[in-house]
Amino acid sequence: MRLFHHLALLNLKSAEQCERYICVNFKSKRVRVGRDKCDVKIATVCKYWRKVVKWVNGPAVAEHLNRLPPRLAISNRPLFTSQELSPTFRYSSSFTSFGEPQFSERMLEVSRTVNGHGWGTESRSRPPSSGEALKEYAYKLCKDYLRGAWLNISASEMVLKKVSGGLSNLLYYCSLPEGVTSAQGEPSRLLLRLYGNVNGSRAIETLVTESVIFTLLSESQRGPRLYGVFSGGRLEEYIPARALLTTELADPQISRLIADKIAQIHLMDVPINKQPKWLWHTMHTWVKQIEELIESDNIQEGSREMINTMKALNLSDELVWLKEFLVGIKSPVVFCHNDLQEGNILLRERANSDLDLTNGNDVTENGNVRMTSDSLVVIDFEYCSYNYRGFDFANHFCEWFYDYSNQEPPYFYKLESNQAETHHKEHLVKNYLAALRTYPEYKEREEDDLPTILREIEAFTLASHFFWGLWSVLNSSSEINFDYWSYGQSRFQSYYNHKSKILSEFDVSNGP
């Protein structure tokens, strides 16, 4: 295997950048790569990168990869044999910890990352935003990555529709025209995701990490299937479903199912850095970027009010206080989604096979199908990381305030009347604790009780407001139709209001 070459396919610019990325995120066993040493978890990382370039153009690609210079080799074994380059999907029927070799051996073949569209210069340029150029771009991706029937249609025949939702990415529904069926088992419809803001020193690392985790979730059948990755986005399974409505989050049955999904996510063992560094590193980076913007002379007139407001908040000092306070809460560190808002929770259509009686659903007295955990699908793990448990809960309940269905500026509603009351939080947390105990991988912890988690929710509500306030300021120049600055103002206002409440109720050294 030639690990650095695999990572280079994912647009990491140099061996040094690759090594830094791996050493930070995957640590267990020391191996030599040329003259460099790095810590690599072979069972989960090397085997993943071997498989990430499968589903490609057979023997030609194997020959190309095996001609790589010897200095990049980790072993004398050829990187691929022709037999290994099969375009077959293989799914596991049972969940296995992501850290185990057994799981990595069944890793989903992800994408054609060497030839064709792949990771060339063209794919790294900004994709067209609308019109026929966008349709041609989407068609080329589908044709190059999926093949089969997609090779036999033209761009004008392909169905392309923009999908609502998504504040960080652009989403499009792509399908074969009516009357055209799959030829080789390739999907007839899918979702095209184009990444939004991918600037910043760690943007590439973030996208690579998300692609790895998306693949792991896909393989364990806990998320949509992944059909292709490219430097500007990915092709993923289209799930016949709709996003939840903001007001549905309070529905007791839906809240119970969300609790089970959170439990599943928190029990995942994902091969990334398991220290709670992501939250603080991300907010620290964003604060520094905002401070650089404040000091810049190149400020547009329309942004001056925003900059003056940020200058008055003294964000660096506020972040120091926030970290000191929240670390003292001692919330357990688990794998977190970090963005459990209604748009990232899909409710499958009733006609979908996952909602029939063969999948464990009951029928109520009035004939309606009683939903199970399979009725919901959690998507968009863009911000996932190991993080404090309290953040996931608090962030979810903060989202009860915000409805993103507004089609007019500011493109969101703040629903003051939709606040999660204590009984709502207790209902979700009780179901979460009950769900945890149904999974064999769960190990009982002293802090897994209702009062402790409710305390964490109150404290980490601050982190949710502060995090998304910073995010809004930095995304204020995005092309997505959303008033990021108004949203950021709302989140910062909520942060300081909640901080006043916290200071009156908490002993900041010992908790409430």
Q: What is the CATH number of the domain that holds 401?
A: 3.90.1200.10
Per-residue pLDDT, averaged over 392-406, amounts to 96
Overall pTM > 0.75:
no
The mean pLDDT of 24-53, rounded to a whole number, is 38
Q: How many C-beta atoms surround the C-beta of residue 320 within 10 A?
A: 12
- Rounded to a whole number, what is the distance in angstroms from the first to the last CA of the chain? 53
Task: Please report whether residue 339 resides in a domain.
Answer: yes
Share of the chain above pLDDT 90, in %: 50
How would residue 9 be classed by pLDDT, with cut points 50, 70 and 90?
very low
Residue scoring higher pLDDT (200 or 117): 200
**Same domain, yes or no: 190 and 305:** no
pLDDT of residue 52: 37
Provide CB contacts within 8 A for 353, sequence distance 6+.
359
In the predicted structure, residue 337 carries a pLDDT above the cut 60: yes
**437/444 Cα distance (integer angstroms):** 8
309 vs 305: CA distance, rounded Å:
6
Q: Does 171 fall in a domain?
A: yes
Confidence band, pLDDT 50/70/90 cuts, at residue 477 = confident
Same domain, 261 and 278: yes
List phi, psi (to 5°) of 332. Answer: -60, 145
User: What CA–CA distance (Å, rounded) separates 150 from 175?
Assistant: 9
Q: Are residues 459 and 412 in the same domain?
A: yes
Letter for the amino acid at 445?
A: R
Look at residues 196, 202, 358 and name the one whose alpha carbon lies nearest to residue 273: 202
Q: 44: which residues sit within 8 A by CB, 6+ positions away? A: 26, 98, 99, 101, 103, 104, 271
Q: For residue 343, give the DSSP letter.
A: G
Which residues are CB-contacts of 277 (< 8 A; sequence separation ≥ 6)? Answer: none
Boundary of a domain, candidates 203, 237, 271: 237
What pLDDT, on a 0 to 100 scale, did the predictor assign at position 84?
31
For the chain, what is the radius of gyration of the CA atoms?
Answer: 23
180 and 75 in a common domain: no
pLDDT band at 130 (very low <50, low <70, confident <90, very high): confident
Please state the rounded mean pLDDT for residues 41-57. 37
Residue 307 has pLDDT above 70, yes or no: yes
Q: What is the pLDDT of residue 480?
A: 79
Decide if pLDDT at 57 tops 50: no
Say how many domains are in the chain.
3
Q: Which phi and psi angles does 345 have, rounded to 5°?
A: -125, 110
Contact 56, 115 (CB under 8 A): yes
Q: What percent of the chain has pLDDT over 70?
A: 66
**Domain identity same for 347 and 279:** yes
Task: CATH number of the domain at 210, please.
Answer: 3.30.200.20
Q: Are residues 269 and 218 part of one domain?
A: no
Amino acid at 157: E
Together in a domain, 176 and 73: no
**Whether residue 73 sits in one domain with residue 220:** no
pLDDT at 424: 98
Same domain for 276 and 369, yes or no, is: yes
The whole-number average pLDDT for the span 75-92 is 32
CB 312 within 8 A of CB 290: no
Please give the Cα distance from 326 to 209 (Å, whole number).
26
The 10s digit of each residue's pLDDT in 417-442 is: 999 999 999 999 999 999 999 999 99
Residue span of the structural domain in which 126 resides = 121-237
Please check whether residues 263 and 233 belong to one and the same domain.
no
Check residues 8 and 384 and name the one with the higher pLDDT: 384
Residues 61 and 146 in one domain: no
Q: Which residues of 377-394 are buried (b: 16+ CB within 10 A; e: fewer)?
A: bbbbbbbbbbbbbbbbbb
User: What's the chain's average pLDDT?
Assistant: 75
User: Among residues 237, 265, 300, which one ends one of the domains?
Assistant: 237
SS3 110: coil
Position 171, amino acid: L
Contact present, 22 and 1 (Cβ < 8 Å): no
The number of C-alpha atoms within 13 Å of 287 and in the hemisphere containing its C-beta is: 17
pLDDT tens, residue by residue, 263-293: 999 999 988 899 999 999 999 999 999 999 8
For the ranges 113-122, 171-180, 235-244, 485-494, which has the lowest average pLDDT?
113-122
- Residue 40, φ and ψ in degrees, nearest 5: -135, 135
Residue 218, φ and ψ in degrees, nearest 5: -60, -45
Residue 38 clears pLDDT 80, i.e. is over it: no
Q: How far apart are CA 283 and CA 276, in angstroms?
A: 12
Write down the pLDDT at residue 203.
63
Q: Does the residue 292 lie in any domain?
A: yes
For residues 312 and 268, membership in a common domain is answered with: yes
- pLDDT tens digits, one per residue of 366-384: 445 578 888 999 988 889 9
